[in-house]
Structure 1
Amino acid sequence: MHVAFVTTSQHGHLNPFVPLMRELRSRGCKVTLLLLAADGDSLGPARREALDGIDVRVVGEVSIAPWSGPPDGIRALLDTTTVAADSEAAVRALAPDFVLLDSMQLTWPALVGVHASGVRYGLTTANLGMIAPKRFREHRWAYDEITRDYLLRHGVIWSEDAHSPRSPTLNLAPAIHELVGDDAVLDGVGLVGLPGAAAVRGDETAFADWQRLDPARPLVYVSFGTIFYRRPQLLREAIAASAGLGAQVVASVGELGPQIGEGLGENVFLAGYVPQREMLRRADLFVTHGGYNSVAESIRAGKPMLVIPLAIDQLVQAHYVERAGFGLALRPDDASQAAIAASVERLLDPAGGHGERVGVAAGAAGDSAATTAERVIEAIR
């Protein structure tokens, strides 16, 4: 069996699918990664090593910036991009048994190409956008109708309730009922468990200060991900608020350390990048932007969250985390140091029950990579 997988080079999209590709190969499948280079990004040595010899073919380039600009820019982008034609040509030349595609706006031109190729395909996602009710998108995305019309014009099935495309063969979402509850749009979509199970994926790194952390004191981990983290003032507010309560704070801040680090005290540890899964096992609380990989890894570790959603699907994750009782959410405009401190204090208090609820959900996390691989192989058979 030959499976082609389509995604972008963005950490939040490629990383969670590295275990899936390895899982497929461990079950006897040949795997080819058809990669869309985001803003010219290339795979570094660590991620290539994690892919462990999986065939990688760059089939096009995509740019993130237009998706936060005027909607007319998206119309022009979709009218002129060669990603659809290039993806169709790549799939026809490769002739796999099945294509699995990470469905999001950046990959939808590739979806058009895969659909046109005639090869059977399935859709999955790296967040909850595929199953979130349409109301989460109202009044937020000026380009929504443009992308909807683009896909419908090319014969792709569309879910009006979730405002997302659908495959006629296989649709899988990396989620659990304990998180999304009964209002998820499961019109032919199966839940396959959370991403983030122990597996090599190419973003592992060292943390130099493990020995300096005091296990007798609460530990708050702060990270706004790898794309949206460039909010030095907000990061500093979150760090200072947590440290002001007497907690130790580890923060992943990219290159922003010099802008953030003055006067925060000896109980604050800043790092460019942190081994997140390992850090969450040690932490008592996660202050996060609500990227789905971060949310899923926090649930898997059984740790409550304060979600400060900064963009796109993070608003959806913030809603579900708060509704499930796994944490609290603050809008960025409301996230003053005092408001963050009050939320952190509530979440560190066992009486609130947040830690207990997310700890129970951790037992239902499953393994999205293993389950997705099973479903893909079943679809091929």
Structure 2
Amino acid sequence: MRVALLTTTQHGHLNPYVPVVNALRKAGAEVSLLLLSADGGALDEQRRQALGEAQVHSVGQVEMAPWSGDPAKIGPMLRSSPVADRTADVLRATAPDFVLVDSLPVTASAVVGAHASGVPYGMIWANLGGVCPREHRRGRWAYDEQVGDYLTGHGVSWSTRTHSARSPILNLMPTIPALVGDDAVTDDGVRLVGLPGAAGTRGDEVAFPELDRLAPDRPVVCVSFGTIFYRRPDLLRTVITGAAATGAQVVAAVGDLAGELALPDDVLTAPYLPQREVLERADVFITHGGYNSVAESIRAETPMLVVPLAVDQPIQAYFVGRAGFGTALEPAAATGRAVTDAVADLLDPARDYRARLRAAQPECGDSAARTAELVVSAVETLQRQGEQ
């Protein structure tokens, strides 16, 4: 059985799919990874090692800047992109039995290529956009409409209720009912498969010996705005100092901004944190709302303050608040006083944030293993149908 998985080089997409690739291999599949280079990004050696024997194929490049520019240019850009043809060519040449496509706007051309290749394909998401009702998907309408017109023009199914693509075979959302609840749009074939972030190597682990310096008698606040959106020094400084004003020990991922922030002496910083390890020690997590971070915080039973900065992050902020797993502040409202008050609220045991997170743990599961199980089952069903 041969299975391909298509995604981008962005950490927020590669990280959750390394375990999926390895789960598929463990299930007996021969796996290849089809990669779109986002803004020139490449597969680093650490993640290459974590992928084991999986074959890696390039299917082209995508640029992120246009998705914050004039929405009217998105349709022409997608139609002129060579990614669709390149994806179809690679799939025909490698001839997998099935391809699982990471569904997001920048992969729309690759979705068209998968559809055109004739290879059966399924959709998977690295955020909650695929099940979020459109009334909570703010600020993306003009872009979504361009993507929807492009995909439906090439025969790809499109959910107008969520503004996202759909496969006729398999649609997998790595999430849990406790997070998305009855608001999730799943009645058109989307299956929930558990949270990303189960134990296991994903290829980005780093050492952070400063964890040993944490005072046992102080609450710990972890701060991270991810590897793309962290470059907001004024906001990052405000958030960190606001959290520190509660008396908590703050541990922050600051990229290359450490020299610009002028932080209190007892704030611990690093360019990049072993986030899962830190969250196991943290009492509050201040995050931009990237979905990997949200999922890891839920697994660690760590309440969140979400400050959504762009793209799908407001969607995650909405669902975190809906579930009672934390609260949110718009960036413009994230003053030092507001952050201090929000962190104090999240630290208050009477507010029951941790109790709700604890109650959700039985649902978390292992989304990579469940994804592999469902993909293998879908391929076996297709093969039986082909034999009849």
The alignment partner of 2:145 has SS state of helix
Name the aligned partner's letter for residue 113 of structure 2: G
- Which position in structure 2 is the counterpart of 1:189? 190
Compute the displacement of 1:312 (Å): 1.1
- Which position in structure 2 is the counterpart of 1:122? 122
Name the aligned partner's letter for residue 379 of structure 2: I
- Which position in structure 1 is the counterpart of 2:13? 13
The alignment partner of 1:143 has SS state of helix
The alignment partner of 1:182 has SS state of helix
CA distance in structure 2 between the aligned counterparts of 1:162 and 1:74, rounded to whole angstroms: 19
Compute the displacement of 1:210 (Å): 1.7
- Which position in structure 2 is the counterpart of 1:134? 134
**Given that residues 301 and 362 in structure 1 are in contact (C-alpha distance below 8 angstroms), is that contact kept between their aligned partners in structure 2?**
no
CA distance in structure 1 between the aligned counterparts of 2:16 and 2:100, rounded to whole angstroms: 14
- Which position in structure 1 is the counterpart of 2:258? 257
Compute the displacement of 1:355 (Å): 1.4
Compute the displacement of 1:198 (Å): 0.8
Compute the displacement of 1:136 (Å): 2.1
Compute the displacement of 1:139 (Å): 4.6
Question: When the two structures are superposed, what TM-score results if normalisation uses the length of structure 1?
Answer: 0.98
The alignment partner of 1:149 has SS state of helix
Range that drifts further, 135-144 or 336-345:
135-144
- Which position in structure 2 is the counterpart of 1:39? 39
Residues 138 and 244 of structure 1, relative CA distance in 2, 3 Å threshold:
closer
> Which aligned pairs between 1:342-361 and structure 2 lie closer than 5 A?
342-361=341-360
Name the aligned partner's letter for residue 232 of structure 2: R
Range that drifts further, 134-143 or 349-358:
134-143
> Which aligned pairs between 1:33-182 and structure 2 lie closer than 5 A?
33-182=33-182
**Given that residues 247 and 267 in structure 1 are in contact (C-alpha distance below 8 angstroms), is that contact kept between their aligned partners in structure 2?**
no
1:310 and 2:309 are equivalent in the alignment: yes
The alignment partner of 2:131 has SS state of coil
- Which position in structure 1 is the counterpart of 2:384? none
Aligned residues: 379
% same residue: 57
CA distance in structure 2 between the aligned counterparts of 1:138 and 1:276, rounded to whole angstroms: 28
Compute the displacement of 1:73 (Å): 2.3
CA distance in structure 2 between the aligned counterparts of 1:232 and 1:284, rounded to whole angstroms: 24
CA distance in structure 1 between the aligned counterparts of 2:211 and 2:329, rounded to whole angstroms: 29
The alignment partner of 1:258 has SS state of helix
| Deviation beyond 4 Å, 4+ runs, structure 1 | none
Q: CA RMSD in A?
A: 0.9
> Which aligned pairs between 1:269-308 and structure 2 lie closer than 5 A?
269-308=268-307
- Which position in structure 2 is the counterpart of 1:228? 229
**Given that residues 138 and 314 in structure 2 are in contact (C-alpha distance below 8 angstroms), is that contact kept between their aligned partners in structure 1?**
no
CA distance in structure 1 between the aligned counterparts of 2:260 and 2:333, rounded to whole angstroms: 22
Name the aligned partner's letter for residue 79 of structure 1: R
CA distance in structure 2 between the aligned counterparts of 1:313 and 1:358, rounded to whole angstroms: 22
Name the aligned partner's letter for residue 244 of structure 2: A
Name the aligned partner's letter for residue 313 of structure 2: Q
The alignment partner of 1:158 has SS state of strand
Question: When the two structures are superposed, what TM-score results if normalisation uses the length of structure 2?
Answer: 0.96
The alignment partner of 2:31 has SS state of strand
- Which position in structure 1 is the counterpart of 2:205? 204
The superposition leaves residues 137-173 of structure 1 with CA deviations (integer Å, 9 ceiling, x where unpaired) of 3554322211110000000011111111110000010
> Which aligned pairs between 1:314-353 and structure 2 lie closer than 5 A?
314-353=313-352
CA distance in structure 1 between the aligned counterparts of 2:361 and 2:306, rounded to whole angstroms: 18
Compute the displacement of 1:266 (Å): 2.9
Name the aligned partner's letter for residue 358 of structure 1: L
The alignment partner of 2:130 has SS state of coil
Name the aligned partner's letter for residue 94 of structure 1: T
**Given that residues 303 and 359 in structure 1 are in contact (C-alpha distance below 8 angstroms), is that contact kept between their aligned partners in structure 2?**
no
The superposition leaves residues 325-368 of structure 1 with CA deviations (integer Å, 9 ceiling, x where unpaired) of 11011011110000000000000010111111112112321111
Range that drifts further, 138-147 or 265-274:
138-147
**Given that residues 207 and 274 in structure 2 are in contact (C-alpha distance below 8 angstroms), is that contact kept between their aligned partners in structure 1?**
yes
The alignment partner of 2:200 has SS state of coil
- Structure 1, unaligned runs of 5 or more: none
**Given that residues 302 and 360 in structure 1 are in contact (C-alpha distance below 8 angstroms), is that contact kept between their aligned partners in structure 2?**
no
The superposition leaves residues 265-300 of structure 1 with CA deviations (integer Å, 9 ceiling, x where unpaired) of 232011000000011001111000000000000001
**Given that residues 220 and 249 in structure 1 are in contact (C-alpha distance below 8 angstroms), is that contact kept between their aligned partners in structure 2?**
yes
- Which position in structure 2 is the counterpart of 1:243? 244
The alignment partner of 2:148 has SS state of helix
CA distance in structure 1 between the aligned counterparts of 2:149 and 2:363, rounded to whole angstroms: 37
**Given that residues 124 and 171 in structure 1 are in contact (C-alpha distance below 8 angstroms), is that contact kept between their aligned partners in structure 2?**
yes
The superposition leaves residues 95-118 of structure 1 with CA deviations (integer Å, 9 ceiling, x where unpaired) of 100000000011110000000111
